[in-house]
Amino acid sequence: MTDLFSVKGKTAVVKGGSRGIGLMIARGLVDAGARVYISSRKAGVCDEVAAELSKHGECFSIPADLGTSEGLDHLATRLAERESSLNILVNNAGATWGAPLEEYPDEAFDKIWAVNVKAIFRLTVKCLPLLRKAAAADDPARVINIGSIDGIRVPYFDNYAYSASKAAVHMLTRHLAHNLNKENITVNAIAPGLFPSKMTNFVFEQFTDEQLGGGIPLGRVGQPDDVAGATIFLASRAGSYLTGAVIPVDGGVSTR
């Protein structure tokens, strides 16, 4: 049974892995024995986080601005220089933008679409040669996209472009899954609820964890093991028969 949920020895990339949910996932994969590459825009932070995670296993830094074509090319090229195959690609990096309806700017949609949707598509395509080399019928290569429950139900905040982009991530996940299934590459998405991160700091600054938990059916906000566990399940042999799934990790909020 331990082997069923093992990712030991697998090679993984976590896009946006230096903070927030990406860091939770990267730490979980490192602790579980995977060889992990993290990438984020701020080189100093990315290097520092990789050095810290390396105390517990194998973790390497490839800084890149993943909202640009040049950054995506850099990550894919550096990865191909260091690895002959890739078992797990976690597309996590994302951006948000909040503003009232009639003040919501066009540039919010342009920026968020580029980072949250287009970058997932382009990096996945660029990594296909490495994913194909790792793919096997009994243990497929995995692409895991990080969506959001804001892409499942209308959020409490005016983040129009963000929630629309996450709904697009969920549909892109299904589309890629349909097209890659014959190549033994599965594509699934995790839709997190409320987790502590830089993106949600404004919420945690206004309310206590107890107050926030009161609005969640399971009575608490998300913790690192919650999203790391879902990722490890999808990346291990236990999740090898799932593709095109969008899994809410939200304490039950999406059931409403």
Q: Where along the chain do its domains lie?
A: 74-255
Q: Residue 95: its pLDDT value, please? A: 78
Given 104, 156, 160, 162, the catalytic residue: 162
The pTM for the full model equals 0.94
Query: What pLDDT is recorded for position 101?
Result: 65
Distance (Å, whole) CA 115 – CA 122: 10
Q: How far apart are CA 80 and CA 66, in angstroms?
A: 16
- Tens of pLDDT, residue by residue over 46-69, are 999 999 999 999 999 999 998 889
The pLDDT, as a whole number, for residue 160 is 83
> In degrees rounded to 5, what are phi and psi of residue 189?
-130, 145
Q: Which long-range contacts (CB under 8 A, 24 or more apart) does 52-55 make?
A: 53/26, 53/27, 54/30
Kindly report which listed range (125-134, 142-151, 193-202, 246-255) carries the lowest average pLDDT score.
193-202
State residue 154's pLDDT score. Answer: 87
Give, as one character, the DSSP assignment of residue 153.
S
Tokens at 130, concatenated: 């490495």
pLDDT at 114 over 70: yes
pLDDT digits (tens, 9 = 90+) for 235-251: 999 999 999 999 999 99
Give me the pLDDT at residue 147, please.
96
Q: CA 22 to CA 198: how far, in whole Å?
A: 11
Q: Which CATH class is domain 74-255?
A: alpha beta
Per-residue pLDDT, averaged over 163-178, amounts to 96
* Model pLDDT for residues 16-53, shown as the tens digit of each residue: 999 999 999 999 999 999 999 999 989 999 999 999 99
Confidence of residue 97 (pLDDT cuts 50, 70, 90): low
Is 156 among the catalytic positions? no
Instruction: Tell me the pLDDT band of 149, cut-offs 50, 70 and 90.
Output: very high
Query: In degrees rounded to 5, what are phi and psi of residue 61?
Result: -105, 130
